[in-house]
Amino acid sequence: MKMEDIAKLAGVSKSAVSFALSGKPGISNKTRERVLEIARENGYTPKPRLSGIEGSVKSLSFLVFTNSGIVLEEYYQQPFFRELIHFIEERCRAKGYSLLFSTINMANFDQEIVTFAEDNQSDGVILLGTNLTPIDISEIAKRLGPSLVVLDNCFDTLPVHFVGINNRMGAYQAGSHLCQLGHREIGYIASNVNLHNFEDRKDGFQEALKKYDIQILPEHHFSVAPTMLSSQEDLKTQIKAYLATGRPLPTALFCECDYIAISAMKTLTELGIRIPEDVSIIGFDNITESQIISPELTTVHVEKQRMAQLAVDLVIESIEVGQEITSKIRVDTLFVERHSSVTYKQ
């Protein structure tokens, strides 16, 4: 039996199985117990990890700081991160490296980053930087040294390797699309958690609208939790309050990520607002669920496979070749038009 088989039986990701078998944090006790029970019942024995002296096993660590912003404790079940991890694991295997998982709760940042640095036996680290600030990343880099790549974020002034998304480009594509469809009353649904990626998306979207001499009115700004795929009472309250003023809704809404877009579609539908007949909606990320929702979501595709490959290759290059000069890589986006956005008709 392989880890993949245990994952299927337990109904979890391979990453969750790895966490459970290695005793690492990052999953609930209930999930850990279920995985371990299935492993015992099927006689699964993890392969022993060879010591550094034997030198035949090379490994990278995937390090995540949870419970801050969009990255939850069970982040590996969130669609965007689940897909990203899959591609990282694939690239590591192709390059002859194993992938270890480590999770640190942001509440214990100072203590646990010291412990991780002291105990870490991997050759290099890929750090999920989605929810981290420049100060956080500077402190982590100081502890972990040069064989570190930060994934899904980018701060130009830090001497650290970054692989991120061209967020401005993606949001610019979304804004241009709505304007070209004839929409002039356009709204914006933001995350109620501030993230660097989302700030860049807002800038790119507003830049596109400015080209068409369009501004988002203050009353057309809404905000919601960025980690829910279900309808949200908070957004429902905001929309109801807006409609109570007697003003029509914007004819289109841009959402800072697909989680928000899918949640908005469900919320608006519950209020009797039709997508896209009454309101066009665009998301960002192109997670798998964007094609399951009805109507299928128009969104900005993030090339997660390319990002994963670049991150793995960059950290391996740092390990095997050595790099004094760090790199900042932003992967361009691709706009994907589906059925949640249509031409505006007066």
Q: Could you state, in order of their start, the residue ranges of all structural domains in the chain?
A: 3-165+304-331, 167-301
In the three-class reduction of DSSP (H, G, I as helix; E, B as strand; rest coil), residue 55 is classed as: coil
Q: 76 or 291: which carries more pLDDT confidence?
A: 291
Residue-level pLDDT at 187: 98
Q: 3-state SS of the chain: helix, strand, coil percent to 5? A: 45, 20, 40
| Confidence grade of residue 25 (pLDDT, cut at 50, 70, 90) | low
- Asked whether residue 47 carries a pLDDT value surpassing 70, the answer given is no
- Asked whether residue 135 carries a pLDDT value surpassing 80, the answer given is yes
Q: 76 or 334: which carries more pLDDT confidence?
A: 334
Share of the chain above pLDDT 90, in %: 75
Q: Cα(71)–Cα(50) distance, rounded to whole angstroms? A: 32
Tell me how crowded residue 209 is: count the other CB atoms within 10 A of its CB: 21
Region for 312 from its dihedrals, namely left if φ exceeds 0, alpha if ψ lies in -120 to 50, beta otherwise? alpha
Residue-level pLDDT at 307: 98
Per the listing, tokens 């994963």 go with: 308
Q: Spell out the CATH class of 3-165+304-331.
A: alpha beta
Residue-level pLDDT at 51: 42
| Confidence grade of residue 1 (pLDDT, cut at 50, 70, 90) | low
| Confidence grade of residue 52 (pLDDT, cut at 50, 70, 90) | very low
Q: Do domains 3-165+304-331 and 167-301 have the same CATH topology?
A: yes
Q: What is the pLDDT of residues 279-328, one digit of tens each?
A: 999 999 999 999 999 999 999 999 999 999 999 999 999 999 877 799 99
DSSP 160-224: SEEEEE-HHHHHHHHHHHHHHTT--SEEEEEESS--HHHHHHHHHHHHHHHHTT----GGGEEEE
Q: 185 or 20: which carries more pLDDT confidence?
A: 185
Q: What is the pLDDT of residues 237-262, one digit of tens each?
A: 999 999 999 999 999 999 999 999 99
What is the biggest distance separating any 2 CA atoms in the chain, rounded to whole angstroms?
73
Whether residue 276 is preceded by a cis peptide bond, meaning omega within 30 degrees of 0, is yes
| Confidence grade of residue 19 (pLDDT, cut at 50, 70, 90) | confident
Tell me how crowded residue 246 is: count the other CB atoms within 10 A of its CB: 6
Q: Cα(335)–Cα(205) distance, rounded to whole angstroms? A: 13
Q: What is the CATH number of domain 167-301?
A: 3.40.50.2300
Looking at every residue in the chain, the average pLDDT score rounds to 91
Whether residue 295 is preceded by a cis peptide bond, meaning omega within 30 degrees of 0, is yes
Residue-level pLDDT at 4: 75
**Once rounded to an integer, what is the mean pLDDT over residues 79-99?**
94
- Asked whether residue 269 carries a pLDDT value surpassing 50, the answer given is yes
| Confidence grade of residue 46 (pLDDT, cut at 50, 70, 90) | low
Residue-level pLDDT at 2: 74
Q: What is the pLDDT of residues 205-235, one digit of tens each?
A: 999 999 999 999 999 999 999 998 999 999 9
